[in-house]
Amino acid sequence: MQLIWDGLFVGSFYALIALGYSMVYGIIKLLNFAHGDLYMLGAFIGFAVLSSLGGIPASLSIGALLVVLLLSMLLTGTAGVLIERFAYRPLRGAPRLAVLITAVGVSFSLEYGISAIAGPNPRSFPIRLEGEVFNLIGARVSLPQIVLMIIAGLLMIGLNGYIQNTSTGRAMRSIALDRNASLLMGINVNAVITRTFFIGSALAGAAGVMAGAYYGKIDFLMGFIIGLKAFTAAVIGGIGNIKGAMLGGLVLGFVEAFGAQWFGGQWRDVFAFAVLILFLTLRPTGILGERVTERV
Amino acid sequence: MAMLEFQDVEVFYGKVQALRGISLNVDEGEIVALLGNNGAGKTTTLSTASALVRLHSGSVRFAGKDISKAHPWNVVDAGLIHVPEGRRIFSTLSVLENLQLGGYLVKDRATVAKRIERVYELLPLLAERRTQQGGTLSGGEQQMLAIGRGLVAGPKMLMLDEPSMGLAPLIVAQVMRVISEIRDQGTAVLLVEQNARAALKVTDRAYVIDNGATTIEGRASDLLTDSRIVDAYLGNG
Ligand SMILES: Nc1ncnc2c1ncn2[C@@H]1O[C@H](COP(=O)(O)OP(=O)(O)O)[C@@H](O)[C@H]1O
Ligand SMILES: [Mg+2]
């Protein structure tokens, strides 16, 4: 029971970040290597926002966290939009490798930019969510965990509804399938891509703030491993597939929780990446990939 | 009055010149065929009108406005709708969602819903399949969906690129009937076809494109017996 809960908790973080990864890949076939760093950026923006607000009574911490969360999402989303506009858009139509190298460059710029501004040492987050641990059907669970999971869940449900039921969401799916045909529908593809970057980055930022508040420590490299994990989650679910990214995040959370339990915690990351390699070689389309039945 | 007007349009793909002087016009309510062999430049002509490709020189006007430098969404907004070669249905989206995307720029949802109902009346087979994924339809059904999707935009003019491609003769006849009906309701149509015989039967006038330039223009009924057309495009069929 404990393992399931742990897997679910970590997995929902992975899912939040994997969503942005997958949305961006789906719509412009770009592996945004800087995506994990947007998570880091979100955490630091949350840090900056909280610090500038001054002291917040601990009793208000969850309400305050929500406000900070929204603000940080807005700012991280904007950062993502700027990155797309100035780093990726000029390269649209350029060879894939050039774009990939640019993405790695953006990633380093974010990491060392933050390191230069905030210092290379870990900072402790101004809010630390603490709560009593209680027993829920056999698992040790804390209130902050539940709150964070609810927030993550709501964000994902909201996003799914947006993508399935709104006109912009439909446009995102159509661009992912056929960009030129989407142009012929009158879709301003650039505007929709901008929005996709905004949402994906905002979700990563949200995960960053929540991680900061939960673990209490942030540093400029915190996005690196989690970026790889989110990529893994996206691949597990079928990259470009929104539901797949959520599912992939949870699956990865479980794999890690169970793997760490059976083989020891130091194997956790090895497990995650073994799963990545397994999927890339055996089923590169992921669990939910290739659902299309096409007839010509 | 001219709805769509090309004047000496030239287009390059990189260094390769695809259009070397296209001039044509389609009047309000008219249905005009654009004929020509594979690679002649028919698709490029339509893509130039819908702003998917940029023109090098010349001009394209639609409904009185120069659209040579417009964005694709401006062209759609102006009412010029391009139904592309190969249908280009969004395969994992449902039939209904494909139709809804056709009305992407229409602000009023009720209008979109009403137009979709009208498409269902015109093409009842789409109504039966509204929840099915677009990719699961047969070729003929996909072509009907592509046309229906174009109609939801509320076009002043439709440009159809080889709607008969890969379809059985019976289905081709159905598609041509639908195209005639659309024209009868007042929408201008530019019909690109390699199947010249089928196209000339439903159109008023036709242009022939050869090697990127418009070469022959005439009334469809005349062209059906014109020896230049009969030899080159109608075969002995
Ligand atoms: N995307 C492209 N890039 C380069 N050349 C192209 C492209 N599309 C078409 N062409 C070339 O332009 C010419 C006209 O093509 P097209 O307009 O598709 O002809 P049609 O529709 O009449 O068969 C052909 O020689 C074709 O090879
Ligand atoms: Mg063609």
Q: Which domains does chain A have, with CATH numbers?
A: 2-282 (1.10.3470)
ipTM computed for the complex: 0.95
Which residue is it, tokens 């930019």?
A113
How far from each other are the two terminal CA atoms of chain B, in whole angstroms? Answer: 36
Is the CB of residue B44 below 6 angstroms from any atom belonging to ligand 1? yes
The ligand that comes nearest to the alpha carbon of residue B47 is 1
B76 interaction partners in chain A (CB closer than 8 Å): 184-186
CB contacts of B145 in chain A (<8 Å) are none
Can you read off the two tokens belonging to residue A81? 């939009």
Distance in Å, CA B136 to ligand 2 centroid = 24
Contact A181 B139 (CB under 8 A): no
DSSP class per residue in A240-276: T-HHHHHHHHHHHHHHHHHHHHHH-GGGHHHHHHHHH
Inter-chain touch B81–A183, beta carbons under 8 Å: no
pLDDT, chain A, mean:
87
Give the distance (Å) from ligand 2 centre to CA of residue B201. Answer: 20
Task: Tell me, yes or no, if B72 comes closer than 8 A to chain A by beta carbon.
Answer: yes
Q: pLDDT tens-digit profile of B66-111?
A: 999 999 999 999 999 999 999 999 999 999 999 999 999 999 999 9
Tens-place pLDDT, residues B9-59: 999 999 999 999 999 999 999 999 999 999 999 999 999 999 999 999 999
Interface of A with B (CB under 8 A): 167, 170-171, 173-174, 177-178, 180-188, 291-296
pLDDT of residue A54: 67
Cα A179 to its chain centre, rounded Å, is 24
Question: Residue A289: what pLDDT?
Answer: 66
State pLDDT tens for residues A76-117: 999 999 999 999 999 988 888 898 899 999 999 999 999 999
Region of residue A102 (left: phi > 0; alpha: psi -120 to 50; beta: else): alpha
pTM: 0.91
Q: Does B48 touch chain A (CB under 8 A)?
A: no
Name the CATH superfamily, with its identifier, for domain B2-234. P-loop containing nucleotide triphosphate hydrolases (3.40.50.300)
Residues in chain A: 296
Report pLDDT digits (tens) over B115-160. Answer: 999 999 999 999 999 999 999 999 999 999 999 999 999 999 999 9
B20: closest CA among B212, B217, B215, B210?
B212
User: What are the CA-CA distances from residue A110 to residues A29, A221, B59, B201 (Å)?
Assistant: 21, 10, 46, 63
Higher pLDDT, B114 or A5: B114
Q: Is the pLDDT of residue A291 over 60?
A: no
Mutate: best of A178, A179, A182, A184, partner B, most B CBs <10 A:
A184
A293–B133: do the CB atoms touch at under 8 Å?
yes
Domain boundaries, chain B: 2-234
Q: How far is the CA of B44 from the centre of ligand 1 (A)?
A: 6
The pairing of strands B31-35 and B2-13 is unpaired
Whether the CB of B97 is below 8 Å from some CB of chain A: the reply is yes
